[in-house]
Amino acid sequence: MKSLMEYQGYHARIDYDAEAKVFHGRVLGIKDVVNFEGDCVEELEQSFKDSIEDYLAFCKQRNEKPEKPFSGKFEVRINPELHELLYEKAAEQGISINKLVNRVLEEGLEYR
């Protein structure tokens, strides 16, 4: 069984080990390793929240900015022909490639 949890903008993937009868979680989208576990859902949820709070406190103690999983930036590699097509479509519409890609993704994902 696999699932996701969210707390304060951080997301975690949850796995269940049926043999050990324990839930394991790992925070996604950041380079730092933040893991947690619990024997039941309530314990897992609390462990996740505690792990995030500990992570944030640790960053503050070290005077470091905590990583955020979603900066709004990501790099995508595409073939040169598609890049050219994006450029042409964006130019036709008088917008940037970035704006065109945002629009296409929003429509494709039925975002908003």
pLDDT digits (tens, 9 = 90+) for 55-77: 999 999 999 999 988 888 888 99
Q: Beta-strand (E) ranges in the chain?
A: 2-7, 10-17, 22-28, 35-38
CA dihedral 13, 38, 57, 27 (to 10 degrees): -10
Token pair in block for residue 36:
């947690």
The pLDDT assigned to 36 comes to 97
Q: pTM for the whole thing?
A: 0.69
The pLDDT assigned to 112 comes to 65
Lowest-confidence region among 33-37, 68-72, 86-90: 68-72
**Taking 80 as the threshold, does the pLDDT of residue 82 lie above it?**
yes
